[in-house]
């Protein structure tokens, strides 16, 4: 099907669609765009001016180690999936060029920050995140990341306090020392799993115990110790 184009506005619209169609994701060059157009003698000039890229100054990014500087980009909106995902967040490690993609339902800073926090918890914090989404968007995303980290830290500390057991051992008590995982693996299953008794010389509030073993002082966690009750008589 052919369309006769008369006005300048129509001509620009048709050339733009032939050159870059966001619906299909097709981005044609000069020759492919010219082959799609049937026009007058000035068609080649119009196509060349449409497809010619503008020269912009380049600023190289110096990265010295993996997972130090990330590039972040947001693609969409796309056709919704069965789970209502319409956007794709791409995260690129600018040192190794490793790319990760996360589906998002919205382009809000909350969803972006949540996806970023998940990756940062897996691989660690980075020094810089580069994005073309604008300063306000990046600042709000970073604020959401900081709030998520503070919430995670608070949850972890509460969980850690819940797991801490009160130490019932005191300096001067006789204790037994449990075997290490390597010793248990090499030893006989019928043998005693504890050594001792030994004398507990000190224990800190953080659960670090000092035990005198065969004249030498050893430090270990109190979780490796068991109280030794001497037989009466």
User: pLDDT confidence of 41, banded at 50, 70, 90?
Assistant: very low
pTM: 0.43
Q: Which of 41-50, 102-111, 195-204, 218-227 has the lowest mean pLDDT?
A: 41-50
In what order do the strands lie in the sheet containing 208-213?
A: 216-221, 208-213, 194-203, 174-178, 225-227
Residues 40 and 99 placed together within one structural domain of the fold: no
What would the mean pLDDT of 120-135 be, rounded to a whole number? 78
Q: Determine contact, residues 212/196, Cβ cutoff 8 Å.
A: no
Q: Which of 66-70, 147-151, 164-168, 186-190 has the lowest mean pLDDT?
A: 164-168
pLDDT score of 103 more than 90: yes
Residues 38 and 74 placed together within one structural domain of the fold: no
Residues 104 and 181 placed together within one structural domain of the fold: no
Give yes or no for a cis peptide into 201 (omega within 30° of 0): no
Q: Determine contact, residues 89/67, Cβ cutoff 8 Å.
A: no
The CATH number given to whatever domain includes residue 217 is 2.30.30
Local structure of 114: helix, strand or coil: helix
Q: What is the pLDDT of residues 50-101, one digit of tens each?
A: 555 555 676 777 888 998 888 888 888 899 999 999 999 999 999 999 999 9
Residues 120 and 195 placed together within one structural domain of the fold: no
The pLDDT value recorded for residue 158 is 73
CA dist., res. 50 & res. 41, Å (int):
16
Residues 110 and 35 placed together within one structural domain of the fold: no
Q: Which of 82-86, 131-135, 170-174 has the lowest mean pLDDT?
A: 131-135
Is 91 among the domain residues? yes
Cβ contacts of 231 within 8 Å, gap of 6 or more:
none
Beta bridge partners of 93: 70
The pLDDT value recorded for residue 22 is 54
For the chain, report the end-to-end CA distance as a whole number of angstroms. 109
CA dist., res. 219 & res. 222, Å (int):
9
What would the mean pLDDT of 110-122 be, rounded to a whole number? 82
Residue given tokens 């130490």 in the structure block: 167
- The residue with greater pLDDT, 71 or 158, is 71
Residues 150 and 180 placed together within one structural domain of the fold: no
Give the strand pairing for 216-221 and 128-131.
unpaired
Among residues 230, 225, 231, which one has the least CA distance to residue 213? 225
Q: Determine contact, residues 174/198, Cβ cutoff 8 Å.
A: yes
Is 32 among the domain residues? yes
What would the mean pLDDT of 41-49 be, rounded to a whole number? 55
Domain count, the chain: 3
Give yes or no for a cis peptide into 12 (omega within 30° of 0): no
Q: Which of 28-32, 52-56, 58-62, 130-134 has the lowest mean pLDDT?
A: 52-56
Q: Find the domain containing 20 and state its range.
A: 8-51
Domain boundary among 141, 163, 185: 163
Is 130 among the domain residues? yes
Residues 135 and 211 placed together within one structural domain of the fold: no
Q: Determine contact, residues 63/77, Cβ cutoff 8 Å.
A: no
User: pLDDT confidence of 169, banded at 50, 70, 90?
Assistant: confident
Q: Determine contact, residues 41/64, Cβ cutoff 8 Å.
A: no
Residues 158 and 181 placed together within one structural domain of the fold: no
Among residues 8, 36, 41, which one has the least CA distance to residue 21? 36
């Amino acid at each position: 099907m052919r369309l006769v184009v008369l006005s300048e506005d129509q001509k620009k619209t048709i050339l733009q669609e032939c050159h870059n169609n966001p619906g299909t994701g097709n981005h044609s060059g000069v020759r492919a765009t010219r082959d799609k157009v049937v026009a007058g003698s000035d068609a080649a000039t119009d196509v060349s001016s449409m497809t010619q890229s503008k020269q912009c100054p380049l600023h190289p990014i110096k990265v010295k180690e993996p997972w130090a500087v990330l590039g972040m980009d947001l693609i969409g909106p796309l056709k919704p999936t069965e789970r209502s995902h319409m956007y794709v967040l791409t995260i690129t490690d600018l040192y190794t060029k490793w790319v990760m993609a996360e589906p998002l339902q919205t382009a809000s800073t909350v969803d972006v920050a949540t996806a970023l926090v998940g990756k940062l918890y897996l691989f660690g914090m980075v020094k810089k995140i580069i994005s073309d989404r604008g300063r306000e968007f990046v600042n709000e995303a970073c604020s959401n990341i900081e709030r998520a980290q503070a919430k995670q830290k608070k949850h972890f500390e509460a969980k850690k306090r819940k797991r801490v057991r009160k130490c019932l051992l005191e300096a001067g008590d006789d204790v037994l020392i449990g075997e290490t995982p390597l010793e248990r693996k090499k030893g006989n299953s019928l043998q005693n799993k504890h050594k001792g008794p030994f004398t507990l010389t000190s224990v800190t509030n953080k659960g670090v115990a000092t035990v005198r073993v065969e004249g030498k002082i050893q430090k270990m966690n109190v979780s490796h110790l068991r109280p030794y009750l001497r037989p009466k008589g």
